[in-house]
Amino acid sequence: MRKKETFYRGLTYISGALVFFLVGFLFLYIFFKGYKVINLNFLLDVPQGMVLGQEGGIAPAIIGSFLSTFIACGVAGFFGIFTSIYLVFYEKNQKKIKIIQSIIKCIGGIPSIVFGLFGYTLFTIYFGFGKSIISGGLTLGVMIFPVVEIRIEKSLREIDENILKASYSMGVSKFYTIYKIGIPYCLKEIMASILLGYNYAIGATAPIMFCMAVINSPIAFDIKKPAMSLSYHLYTLMTQGISMKMAYGTAFILLALIVVVTIIFQILLRKRDE
C-alpha cells in the first residue's frame, strides 16, 4: 500500500476515534462529576453559604433561564412564523425577498456578545426596562430570530407546489390554504426550529451578562426583576472560584436541559424522513 493511502487510513481512524472519544468524555465527565450534587435541595433551594453559591441550590437560576428562554422563543417564534409566511406566500417581488433574507442572514452572523451590547443599551437603558428578565428575554429573542426564521422559511418553501396550486384552483382562499395545509404540513419543522432556538438561548451567556444576569436572586416569577441564569451562574462559580462542586452540578443541569431538547428535536425531524 502506498504512503498516501496509509496516511489517510491512519488519519481517518485516529480522528474518528478521537472525536467520538471527545463526545463521550465530555458527557461522561460532567455526568459523573455532577450527578452526586443533584438532589431535591439543589433543585429547589436558593444559593447559600459564606460566599453565596457555596451551598444551597440553583432554583432561581433554573427559573430565570426558563423564563428568559420562553420569552425569547415566544418572540422569535411569533416573528419567525409570520415573517416566513409572508415571504413565502405573499411577497411576489424577488428583490424585496432577497433584501429581507440577506439582512436576516447578516444578523444571524453577528456574534452573541454584540447582541449583549445592543440589548444592554437599548432595552436596559434607553427603554428603561432595567436589568430584568424581560430585557434578557428580548435580547435572546433577537439573537435566535434569524436561526428560527431561516429554518421555518426553508421548510415552508419545501411544501409540494402542486398541493398549494390544487388548493388555490379549487377557489380556497390563501389564508385557509396556509392554515389548513401550510402550517400542518410543516408543524414538526416549525417546532423543531423553535426548539433549536431554545437550545441557543438557554446556553447563551454573553448576551444576558449585562441586561439580566445577577449573582443572587430570590425565587420569583417577576419578569421586571433581574434574575440568575444557569449559564451565568456557572460562569461566576467557576471564574470566582466559589465552588467546584456546585459548578459541576450546574453544568450537569444545563447540559441535561439541552440534551433532552436536542433528543426531542432529532425525533421530530427523523419522523419526517421516514
Residue 91 or 160: which CB sits closer to other proteins?
A: 91
In the complex, the smallest distance separating the C-beta of residue 95 from other proteins, rounded to whole angstroms, is 14
Helices (H), 40-132: 40-44, 59-85, 94-108, 112-119
**For residues 62-81, which are near other proteins according to CB under 8 A?**
78-79
28, 44, 103, 187: which one binds other proteins (CB under 8 A):
103
114, 166, 220, 260: which one binds other proteins (CB under 8 A):
114
61, 62, 71, 104: which one binds other proteins (CB under 8 A):
104
Judged by CB under 8 A, does residue 156 bind other proteins?
A: no
Burial class (CB in 10 A: 0-12, 13-18, 19+), 64: buried
Set of cell numbers at residue 55: 451551598
Return the SS3 of 33: helix
120: CB partners within 8 A, 6+ apart: 135, 139, 210, 211
Residue 127 or 221: which CB sits closer to other proteins?
A: 127
Q: How far is the C-alpha of 272 from the C-alpha of 261, rounded, in Å?
A: 17
Judged by CB under 8 A, does residue 206 bind other proteins?
A: yes
Judged by CB under 8 A, does residue 254 bind other proteins?
A: yes
45, 130, 191, 262: which one binds other proteins (CB under 8 A):
262
* Range list of β-strands (E), the chain: 47-48, 55-56
CA distances from 179 to 73, 89, 152, 176 (A): 21, 12, 15, 5
**For residues 123-142, which are near other proteins according to CB under 8 A?**
125, 142
Judged by CB under 8 A, does residue 209 bind other proteins?
A: yes
Residue 99 or 221: which CB sits closer to other proteins?
A: 99
93, 95, 109, 169: which one binds other proteins (CB under 8 A):
109
238, 256, 264, 268: which one binds other proteins (CB under 8 A):
238
The DSSP symbol for 129 reads: -
From the list 40-48, 49-57, 87-95, 158-166, the region that binds other proteins by CB under 8 A is 87-95
From the list 44-52, 85-93, 154-162, 181-189, the region that binds other proteins by CB under 8 A is 85-93
- For other proteins (CB under 8 A), the number of binding residues is 81
Q: How far is the C-alpha of 159 from the C-alpha of 185, rounded, in Å?
A: 7
In the complex, the smallest distance separating the C-beta of residue 147 from other proteins, rounded to whole angstroms, is 12
Judged by CB under 8 A, does residue 106 bind other proteins?
A: yes
Residues 167/50, Cβ–Cβ less than 8 Å: no
The length of the chain in residues reads: 274
User: Which residues does residue 47 pair with via DSSP β-bridges, in sequence order?
Assistant: 56
From the list 50-58, 159-167, 219-227, 248-256, the region that binds other proteins by CB under 8 A is 248-256
Return the SS3 of 213: strand
Judged by CB under 8 A, does residue 28 bind other proteins?
A: no
Furthest CA-CA distance within the chain? 72
**For residues 170-199, which are near other proteins according to CB under 8 A?**
173-176, 178, 199
Which H or E element spans position 223?
none
